[in-house]
Structure 1
Amino acid sequence: MVISDAKSGLTRAIAVALSESFSPQLLSQYFTRKKLLKKLESYGNGAGINALLDSMRASSPTRRASDAEHQDSWTLRHPSALSMFEEIMNASKGKQIVVFLDYDGTLSPIVEDPDRAFMTSEMREAVRDVAKFFPTAIVSGRCRAKVYNFVKLSELYYAGSHGMDIKGPAKGHRKGNQTVLCQPARKFLPMIDEVYRCLIEKMEHIPGAKVENNKFCLSVHYRCVEEKVRAEFYGLPVYRKLPFRVGKRNAEIESRRKVLEIRPTIKWDKGNALEFLLESLGYTEMNDVFPVYIGDDRTDEDAFKVLRNRGQGIGILVSKTPKETNASYTLKEPSEASYAVSTRVGGVEEMRLSLSLSLSLSLPRQY
């Protein structure tokens, strides 16, 4: 990106500063940092100049200290779930724990091929153990059937398509024999199928691109697409690959971690799925319920927000880097899993909660 400027020599300097590979050595061929900042500040407060100044100041040696301060501040607001274990135990004591787990990046690593996001047998056994004591649900953006084929535990509740496709076990924690089933976006299936066919056709010429049909939503994976052609997956151009109405009325597109998602425009998300499952289990009006939701994705924030607004249970974000979140606690390192299970087991309740809190750390995550 190059910002033109009437002053001779500034154009080249600004171009360098706005480059992702900004080099102080190269910039010094034109101006010293101090001189350039002073000169640019004299040209007013335009958006382009402000962006330039922010970029250059961020590259100064004080950035590391700033990042460290930001990390410390974030950790104070969202402490480690393991370091705050006693506090969580006290809050959950005598209450009905209900466990909600994201899949990709939580129970399995983030991988290049979405069809190979397998969970380990150890992880499966950990989930099985938790489900013996607590109602347990997998809440994922994946197709419900695909998530089930990954997990292979019939005693769980599964909420696929970001909660738009929910089904419970034939026999579970719910009172009565009726199977839990919820598909609020069912009327959008013809539209989703049409968009899927369109995307398959449009993406055929892009090596590495993969279109995944999650039944009530679609995912376009471009993790394996060469960098030089990834521009096709950013901004408005992607809309031209879809039927006219997509992005205007019946569906919306969201960019995630090297994935584009197309979903029906419907007021339903993982937070709604959490509330539906709590209601289906008979816990909506209970004051002694303690939901635990563990996830690493931006879509999990809707569930974290529900728990925060309810004032019940906890949301736990799996992330190594600070980010805005409605979660109360965080988890970072996979190595913390064994510590949680082996050293925090004092009684039955502690063992159960330790297992549930450690699930998201049992596998290294790949990016």
Structure 2
Amino acid sequence: MRRIASRLYDAMGKKQGSYESESMSKSRNDQNYTFWLREHPSALTSFVEMIHMAKGKQIIVFLDYDGTLSPIVSDPERAFMSVQMREAVRSVSKCFPTAIISGRSREKVHDFVKLNSVYYSGSHGMDTIGPAPKKNSYDKNYQKKTYDNEGNEFIVFQPAQDFLPAIKKMLTEVKERTRKIPGVAIEDNRFCVSVHYRHVKEKDYERVEEEVKLMLANYPDFHFTRGKKVLEIRPSIEWNKGDALKYLLETLGFHDSGDVLPVYIGDDRTDEDAFKVLRERGDGYPIIVSSAPKETMALYSLQSPSEVQTFLTRLSMWGIENAATTHR
């Protein structure tokens, strides 16, 4: 019988032991995730406990876009959010101040989201539109006033403005350097350049990174960070998603307030800067979107954008029922 079973496994292109190995590997991964969930429990199962701390406080919602409001897709130009997700974001923004902080350019995120009830911060926080500050400790040379169709005043803050000429040069150069590597896609995100390699053969990954490094040798004021199958070329200034979060809290009048409860939901390494800010503040809820264990500063977790949608819907329903903690 053992020889017959072995021949059956061989005929299917597998050795008997490989099935046992795959099963054991899956079991270990499941076990690791179970342990990880103890440290980063689901924000859905913990919702009642979390929201108990919100009573009497102003909730402010911060959201990443890719992998949080939309699924990660092979073509970054088609990272569309669902109609249901848009409605969930719309609903939560009617209850609480809401901002989307993304590595994408601010204009691209707005085109994807199509909501005027939220604030937008693009290029990893280097291009932020927010309310006219109630308190303003930031360099006014990088701020300009703008108005919506109803005459409401907003402030656009762009701390990396001086780097735009160099970014335009790099955009042209990196396209030329990588044009012979099949599958590379270059995205102009205004204050940063995204080099996508999701469609690049694995053997060429190092080649992509090497070309980026060689180019940056001529641009000492820039560096790159890694995301999900993307290299992000950014100015080397002390500014990231965590700084954007702090800036928006200040412009909303809550930077030094003990009556605020920020919620930040994101899935990528760049979101860790915002998680760190909330951990250092000692208030608020950093929430990681992940279905696998990973090192993170987040306190809670959600498995997927669909769970993010459910969480936002529950939060907005709670906000409607508790109007005292909604927009002030």
With the length of structure 1 as denominator, give the TM-score of the two structures.
Answer: 0.72
> Aligned partners of 2:309 and 2:222: how far apart in 1?
42
Q: Which runs of 5+ in 2 are unaligned?
A: 1-14, 132-145, 324-328
CA-to-aligned-CA distance 1:256-285 (integer Å, 9 cap, x gap):
211111111111000000000000001112
Residue aligned with 2:85, SS: helix
Give the number of equivalent residue pairs.
291
Greater shift in the superposed pair: 225-234 or 180-189 = 225-234
Correspondences of 1:56-135 after superposition (within 5 Å): 67-135=29-97
> Aligned partners of 1:323 and 1:94: how far apart in 2?
33
- Tell me: CA distance 1:342–1:212, structure 2 relative to 1, closer, same or farther (3 Å): closer
Asked if 1:238 corresponds to 2:238, the answer is no
Between the aligned residues of both structures, percent identity stands at 51
CA-to-aligned-CA distance 1:143-201 (integer Å, 9 cap, x gap):
111111111112211100000000136689xxx95412211111111111111110111
> Aligned partners of 2:322 and 2:290: how far apart in 1?
23
Partner of 1:294 in structure 2?
265
CA-to-aligned-CA distance 1:317-353 (integer Å, 9 cap, x gap):
000011111111000145546765888997545699x
Check whether the contact 1:218–1:263 (CA below 8 A) recurs between aligned residues: yes
Q: Greater strand share, 1 or 2?
A: 2
> Aligned partners of 1:98 and 1:254: how far apart in 2?
28
> Aligned partners of 1:349 and 1:84: how far apart in 2?
20
> Aligned partners of 1:133 and 1:84: how far apart in 2?
20
Shift of 1:227: 3.2
- Tell me: CA distance 1:124–1:324, structure 2 relative to 1, closer, same or farther (3 Å): same
Shift of 1:231: 3.3
Residue aligned with 2:223, SS: strand
Residue aligned with 2:258, SS: coil
- Tell me: CA distance 1:245–1:24, structure 2 relative to 1, closer, same or farther (3 Å): farther
Partner of 1:262 in structure 2?
233
Partner of 1:285 in structure 2?
256
Partner of 2:191 in structure 1?
216
Which of 260, 266, 274 is 2:245 aligned to?
Answer: 274
> Aligned partners of 2:310 and 2:291: how far apart in 1?
18
Correspondences of 1:1-367 after superposition (within 5 Å): 67-168=29-130, 178-234=153-209, 236-240=210-214, 242=215, 244-246=217-219, 249-333=220-304, 336=307, 348-349=319-320
Name the aligned partner's letter for residue 101 of structure 2.
Answer: V
> Aligned partners of 1:292 and 1:150: how far apart in 2?
22
> Aligned partners of 2:243 and 2:310: how far apart in 1?
33
Check whether the contact 1:252–1:263 (CA below 8 A) recurs between aligned residues: yes
Check whether the contact 1:164–1:268 (CA below 8 A) recurs between aligned residues: yes
Check whether the contact 1:180–1:280 (CA below 8 A) recurs between aligned residues: no
Q: Which runs of 5+ in 1 are unaligned?
A: 1-22, 27-58, 353-367
Residue aligned with 1:205, SS: coil
Residue aligned with 2:99, SS: strand
- Tell me: CA distance 1:24–1:305, structure 2 relative to 1, closer, same or farther (3 Å): farther
> Aligned partners of 2:272 and 2:309: how far apart in 1?
26
Check whether the contact 2:288–2:300 (CA below 8 A) recurs between aligned residues: yes
Check whether the contact 1:341–1:351 (CA below 8 A) recurs between aligned residues: no
> Aligned partners of 2:27 and 2:125: how far apart in 1?
41
Greater shift in the superposed pair: 307-316 or 67-76 = 67-76
Shift of 1:133: 1.4
- Tell me: CA distance 1:98–1:127, structure 2 relative to 1, closer, same or farther (3 Å): same
Name the aligned partner's letter for residue 85 of structure 1.
Answer: F
> Aligned partners of 2:314 and 2:212: how far apart in 1?
50
> Aligned partners of 2:124 and 2:312: how far apart in 1?
29
> Aligned partners of 1:140 and 1:344: how far apart in 2?
21
Shift of 1:73: 2.6
Check whether the contact 2:63–2:265 (CA below 8 A) recurs between aligned residues: yes
Residue aligned with 2:59, SS: strand
> Aligned partners of 2:316 and 2:230: how far apart in 1?
39
> Aligned partners of 2:197 and 2:221: how far apart in 1?
24
With the length of structure 2 as denominator, give the TM-score of the two structures.
Answer: 0.80
Residue aligned with 2:154, SS: coil
Instruction: Provide the alpha-carbon RMSD of the alignment.
Output: 2.9
